[in-house]
């Protein structure tokens, strides 16, 4: 069930049975020479939609712009500052919980969102902690790219060429979702360098074509289909465990 395609009465009746919601979240940032700028958002969204087709789970609209300040030296990247991102997450969670949702699960496709998401959750909880009131909701972040099935599958498919940004796994998944947007590019060097992420100009200097440790020329639509199915199982399993808390 998708929030954007539901009426308020349908949301009312969903809330009588179920108070969990999945919020897909990604980023709008460069993904190397053959990766789509929307990779992190379109992948999270697809996995969430697949889960909602298979199970009775409400999916909120995808948050497509995240915290990606370090990608700003590449054309097309759009980022929120951490403070803006945190404020946005707090507002979204506050709105959802005001309607009676108790379990807010962010299905995330971008590593840079993890720290500010957790800070946002602490901001929300601190309102209750400081006044010693019981918090009526819980928040969680589930990174689709870090589930156990995905970990296993990416190891089998790409070994040490997976890397950590513009990975063949995420590029494959985006190609499966948008086969008309598959790109051809030569990777030089074949395997991208590794390093520490800081500001945007430092990032561009260390990782000139945007990739970190990966060889996304290995990406394929066929792999993307397997990755999508495995990620949906990983994420749904994590969501079910979260609901039981």
Binding site for Ni ion (CB under 5 A): 39-40, 170
Q: How far is the CB of 39 from Ni ion (least distance, A)?
A: 5
Residue among 39 and 143 whose Cβ is closer to Ni ion: 39
DSSP codes joined into one string, 154-190: HHHHHGGG--SBS-HHHHHHHHHH-GGG------SSS
Q: How far is the CB of 121 from Ni ion (least distance, A)?
A: 22
Residue among 123 and 209 whose Cβ is closer to Ni ion: 209
Residue among 20 and 33 whose Cβ is closer to Ni ion: 33
Q: How far is the CB of 231 from Ni ion (least distance, A)?
A: 13
8 A C-beta contact, residue 36 and residue 181: yes
Residue among 36 and 86 whose Cβ is closer to Ni ion: 36
Other beta carbons within 10 Å of 190: 10
Residue among 101 and 234 whose Cβ is closer to Ni ion: 234
CB burial string 128-164: b at 16+ within 10 A, e below: eeeeeeeeebbbbbbbbbebebbeebbeebbeebbbe
Nearest residue to Ni ion, by Cβ distance, number only: 40
Nearest-10 Cα torsion for 145, 135, 242, 48: -50
Tokens of 85: 């991102």
Q: How far is the CB of 32 from Ni ion (least distance, A)?
A: 9
Of 112, 107, 6, 119, nearest to 66 by C-alpha is 112
Q: How far is the CB of 179 from Ni ion (least distance, A)?
A: 19
Q: Tell me how far apart the alpha carbons of residues 145 and 43 are, in angstroms, rounded to a whole number.
A: 10
Residue among 29 and 124 whose Cβ is closer to Ni ion: 29
Q: How far is the CB of 35 from Ni ion (least distance, A)?
A: 7
**Which DSSP category does 207 fall into?**
S
Q: Tell me how far apart the alpha carbons of residues 91 and 87 are, in angstroms, rounded to a whole number.
A: 6
């Amino acid at each position: 069930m998708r929030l954007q395609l539901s009426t308020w009465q349908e949301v009312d009746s969903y809330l009588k049975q179920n108070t969990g919601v999945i919020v897909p979240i990604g980023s709008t940032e460069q993904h190397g020479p053959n990766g789509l700028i929307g990779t992190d958002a379109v992948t999270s969204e697809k996995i969430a939609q697949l889960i909602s087709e298979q199970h009775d789970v409400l999916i909120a609209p995808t948050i497509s712009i995240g915290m990606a300040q370090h990608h700003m030296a590449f054309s097309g990247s759009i980022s929120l500052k951490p403070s803006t991102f945190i404020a946005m997450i707090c507002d979204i969670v506050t709105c959802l919980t005001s309607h009676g949702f108790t379990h807010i699960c962010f299905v995330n496709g971008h590593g840079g969102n993890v720290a500010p998401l957790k800070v946002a959750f602490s901001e929300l909880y601190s309102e209750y902690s400081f006044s010693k009131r019981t918090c009526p909701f819980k928040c969680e972040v589930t990174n689709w790219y870090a589930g156990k099935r995905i970990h296993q599958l990416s190891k089998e498919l790409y070994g040490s060429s997976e890397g950590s940004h513009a990975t063949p796994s995420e590029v494959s998944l985006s190609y499966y979702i948008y086969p008309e947007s598959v790109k051809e590019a030569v990777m030089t060097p074949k395997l991208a360098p590794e390093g520490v992420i800081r500001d945007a100009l430092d990032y561009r200097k260390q990782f000139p074509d945007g990739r970190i440790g990966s060889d996304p020329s290995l990406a394929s639509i066929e792999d993307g289909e397997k990755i999508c199915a495995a990620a949906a199982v990983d994420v749904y399993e994590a969501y079910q465990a979260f609901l039981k808390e």
